[in-house]
């Protein structure tokens, strides 16, 4: 493993907190050390309080912060004296511990301290780093793992047997470490958790982490258990979108809420899913207990969700017998699915959760196979995994999960998404928690957003094969389709019917009408499988109820789409699909309204451009976001019993009213 410390870079981070930020980011850069918010770092600093007294303050990574992007405000300042007194208690519930940690902070607005704050406090060094390094976890999760660690590190790393994270682990370490940490010690191996290294400087603690991980990698490599190779594997070429959408609906039912599913069909995922021994290897448990919440206890092998539920209920009953307090059973739905045709499918309440589950399980695959090559893969016993899965702190998180965004776990597809109303719709649905696929003929759509809940797809909507491919890509990315916004359209410069060319007429009809028909037809099976019922928002036009001269092709195409939407509302109601239309007028921040078109239309009505922009009853200008927000609301719970509606977004038009 490469040491990324750069003295010139480090010089730009002033003071102990700055140095702590710098090396934390170095650790966070490497996914083989920590994944998505995992791992912890801290530094102990002397500070004067309000009364002028010197206090030792532990600045420990706050909950919710990712080491790769952490800032000084991402560390929680806790009074060391209080943490050390907590470490001396015989028992303390983790819920009470978190409350005490918050009470120890010198800044009430800082994030909640890591549950490992007490553990960091008792480590006898100023800087502390904790990672879940793949190489270390691999060695730990083999028969005789402790002996292997002693072979690698001797007395330089203290080995602590597995204990539930939280206060129990901190209490055990408070008992063991004073006896076992010698002047030669540079780290602590927490069995099934990972590795802690420490030092008097940020550089030394980080360098020790890299040294320890490198030694583990070399140990594995020397025994032919480090490099994992995958033969080329062909991804499924036939369309999977209908199957994935149906599976997503069933899995969402087991979760009790809509789920995002992401398909991973590369050589690694297909190769592992197709191994003959995958049912045995994959069912032992996660690589570390820190991963159980993201990936559940074990993956589903195949697609039999009913069998997974039965196994889960047996596991729950065995680990939580009826006598005594018993937690409520979590949803019996997998977060990881291994299927020989699909490869790896990961699920979550959001696209980010599904992506994190995917990245974690990719690392888990490598850890499992390296451990197998070293002598055998061995995860924690089911009872220990259950203890983490039903940890009171995790139960508290689940109780707070009811505050999820309105479209959490749902998928929206927007056509004409690169600019104007379409781009505003993308933003409106993202703000409400949806995963969004944006389609546009412009190559810029692929760069519109760089985030796990957006997929920009270049697509010519007049090409039926391209539409089918775009839907396939969207479903492989997010698992299905809940909401469709038909927005793409073109508006040609005003010409009377007598001057309108046939090619122009056909082009407008092809984009505005025919493409909308094809998208509706191809989306119907996916919308029908939406867990909460499908929704369609059609971006129409004021020209439907009140056409204007010089816009025959545009007006006719929009009127035809409006009629198509009304028929869809009639036909699809039995499938729990709602179809509603919006009729905006003169939304000038769109690609349709070029300066030439705007000037031409204003001149046609004998107005200045500024007067034309507010030519409505309310004398207001309509923006893309105004239309987008109403389109999103039409797909939300406020309109749950509305279909076939036509709503103007035009500031009030005298001809329409």
Domains, in order of start, for the chain: 7-222 (3.40.225.10), 241-403 (3.40.225), 411-587+624-648 (3.40.50.720)
What pLDDT, on a 0 to 100 scale, did the predictor assign at position 396?
A: 65
Q: Please determine, for residue 276, whether its predicted confidence score (pLDDT) is greater than 80.
A: yes
Name the residue among 480, 345, 476, 489 with its Cα closest to residue 413.
Answer: 480
Q: Please determine, for residue 376, whether its predicted confidence score (pLDDT) is greater than 80.
A: yes
Q: Tell me: the pLDDT tens digits for 67-90?
A: 999 999 999 999 999 999 999 999
Q: Where are the beta strands (DSSP E) in 251-340?
A: 260-264, 300-301, 336-339
Task: Assess whether 361 carries a catalytic annotation.
Answer: no
CA dihedral 545→550→555→557, nearest 10 degrees, is 170
Burial of 158 (0-12, 13-18, 19+ CB in 10 A): buried
- 432 phi and psi, to 5 degrees? -90, 10
Name the residue among 468, 416, 465 with its Cα closest to residue 445.
Answer: 416
| Mean pLDDT of the region 405-416 | 97
CA dihedral 441→472→349→631, nearest 10 degrees, is 40
Per-residue DSSP letter, 436: E
| Mean pLDDT of the region 555-571 | 98
Residue 336 is encoded by which pair of tokens? 């990881």
Residue 402 is encoded by which pair of tokens? 């009811």
* pTM of the model as a whole: 0.92
Q: Tell me: the pLDDT tens digits for 308-365?
A: 999 999 998 898 876 566 677 888 899 999 999 999 999 999 999 999 999 999 999 9
What pLDDT, on a 0 to 100 scale, did the predictor assign at position 510?
A: 97
Q: Please determine, for residue 402, whether its predicted confidence score (pLDDT) is greater than 60.
A: no
**Quick check: 231 and 267 in contact, CB under 8 A?**
yes
The number of beta carbons lying within 10 Å of the beta carbon of residue 125 is 21
Alpha-carbon span 360 to 351, nearest angstrom: 14
* CA distances (Å), origin 215, targets 30, 121, 140, 233, 371: 17, 27, 14, 32, 16
What pLDDT, on a 0 to 100 scale, did the predictor assign at position 509?
A: 97
Residues 6+ apart with CB under 8 A from 234: none
Q: Could you tell me what percent of the chain has a pLDDT over 90?
A: 85
Alpha-carbon span 472 to 263, nearest angstrom: 11
Cα 456 → chain centroid: 16
Per-residue DSSP letter, 514: I
Instruction: Map tokens 């730009």 to a residue.
Output: 12
- pLDDT tier at 191, thresholds 50, 70, 90: very high
- 79 phi and psi, to 5 degrees? -70, 120
SS (H, E, C) 63-95: CCCCHHHCCHHHEEEEEHHHHHHHHCCCCCCHH
Q: Pairing relation of β-strands 75-79 and 127-131?
A: unpaired
Alpha-carbon span 423 to 476, nearest angstrom: 22
The catalytically annotated residue of 22, 153, 206, 554 is 554
Q: Tell me: the pLDDT tens digits for 431-486?
A: 999 999 999 999 999 999 999 999 999 999 999 999 999 999 999 999 999 999 99
The Cβ-side half-sphere exposure at 301, using a 13 Å CA radius, reads 15
Q: Please determine, for residue 32, whether its predicted confidence score (pLDDT) is greater than 80.
A: yes
Q: Mean pLDDT in the chain?
A: 94
Q: Please determine, for residue 621, whether its predicted confidence score (pLDDT) is greater than 70.
A: yes
Q: Please determine, for residue 291, whether its predicted confidence score (pLDDT) is greater than 80.
A: yes
């Amino acid at each position: 493993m490469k040491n990324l410390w750069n003295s010139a870079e480090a010089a730009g981070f002033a003071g102990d907190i700055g140095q702590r930020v710098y090396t934390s980011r170095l650790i966070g850069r490497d996914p083989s050390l920590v994944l998505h918010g995992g791992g912890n770092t801290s530094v102990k600093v002397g500070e004067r309080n309000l009364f002028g007294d010197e206090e030792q303050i532990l600045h420990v990574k706050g909950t919710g912060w990712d080491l790769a992007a952490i800032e000084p405000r991402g560390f929680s300042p806790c009074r060391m004296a209080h943490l050390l007194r907590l470490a001396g208690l015989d028992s303390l519930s983790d819920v009470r511990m978190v409350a005490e940690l918050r009470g120890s902070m010198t800044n009430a607005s800082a994030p909640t301290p890591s549950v490992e704050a007490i553990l960091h406090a008792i480590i006898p060094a100023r800087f502390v780093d904790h990672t879940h390094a793949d190489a270390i976890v691999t060695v730990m999760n083999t028969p005789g793992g402790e002996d292997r660690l002693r072979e690698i590190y001797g007395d330089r790393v203290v080995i602590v047997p597995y204990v539930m994270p939280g206060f129990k682990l901190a209490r055990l370490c408070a008992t063991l470490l004073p006896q076992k940490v010698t002047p030669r010690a540079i780290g602590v191996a927490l069995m099934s958790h990972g590795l802690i290294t420490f030092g008097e400087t940020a550089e030394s603690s980080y360098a020790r982490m890299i040294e320890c991980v490198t030694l583990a990698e070399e140990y594995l490599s020397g025994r032919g258990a480090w490099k994992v190779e995958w033969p080329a594997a062909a991804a499924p070429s036939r369309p999977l979108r209908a199957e994935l959408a149906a599976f997503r609906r069933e899995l969402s039912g087991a979760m009790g809420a809509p789920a995002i599913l992401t398909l991973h069909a590369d050589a690694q995922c297909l190769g592992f899913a197709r191994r003959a021994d995958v049912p045995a290897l994959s069912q032992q448990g996660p690589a570390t207990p820190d991963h159980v919440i993201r990936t559940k206890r074990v993956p589903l092998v195949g697609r039999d969700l009913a069998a997974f539920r039965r196994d889960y209920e047996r596991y729950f009953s065995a680990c939580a017998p009826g006598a005594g307090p018993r937690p409520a059973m979590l949803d019996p739905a997998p977060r990881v699915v291994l299927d020989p045709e699909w490869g790896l499918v990961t699920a979550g309440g959001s696209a980010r959760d599904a992506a994190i589950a995917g990245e974690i399980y990719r690392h888990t695959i490598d850890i499992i196979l390296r451990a197998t090559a070293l002598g055998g893969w061995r995860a924690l016993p089911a009872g220990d995994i259950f203890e983490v899965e039903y940890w009171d702190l995790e139960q508290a998180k689940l109780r707070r999960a009811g505050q999820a965004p309105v479209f959490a776990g749902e998928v929206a597809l927007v056509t004409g998404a690169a600019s104007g109303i379409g781009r505003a719709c993308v933003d409106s649905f993202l703000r409400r928690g949806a995963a969004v696929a944006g389609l546009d003929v412009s190559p810029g759509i692929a760069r519109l957003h760089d985030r796990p809940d957006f997929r920009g797809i270049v697509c010519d909507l007049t090409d039926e094969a391209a539409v089918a491919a775009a839907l396939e890509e969207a479903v492989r990315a997010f698992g299905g389709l809940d909401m469709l916004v038909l927005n793409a359209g073109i508006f040609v410069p005003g010409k009377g019917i007598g001057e309108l060319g046939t090619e122009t007429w056909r082009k407008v009809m092809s984009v505005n009408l025919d493409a909308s028909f094809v998208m509706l037809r191809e989306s119907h099976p996916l919308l029908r499988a939406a867990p909460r019922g499908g929704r369609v928002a059609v971006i129409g036009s004021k020209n439907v109820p009140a056409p204007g001269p010089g816009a025959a092709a545009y007006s006719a195409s929009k009127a035809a789409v409006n009629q198509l939407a009304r028929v869809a509302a009639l036909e699809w109601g039995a499938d729990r699909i709602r179809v509603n239309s919006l009729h905006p007028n003169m939304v000038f921040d769109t690609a349709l309204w070029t300066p030439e078109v705007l000037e031409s239309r204003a001149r046609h009505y004998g107005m200045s451009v500024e007067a034309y922009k507010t030519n409505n009853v309310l004398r207001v200008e309509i923006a893309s976001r105004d239309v987008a927000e109403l389109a999103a609301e039409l797909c939300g719970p406020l309109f749950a019993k509305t279909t076939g509606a036509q709503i103007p977004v035009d500031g009030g038009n005298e001809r329409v009213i």
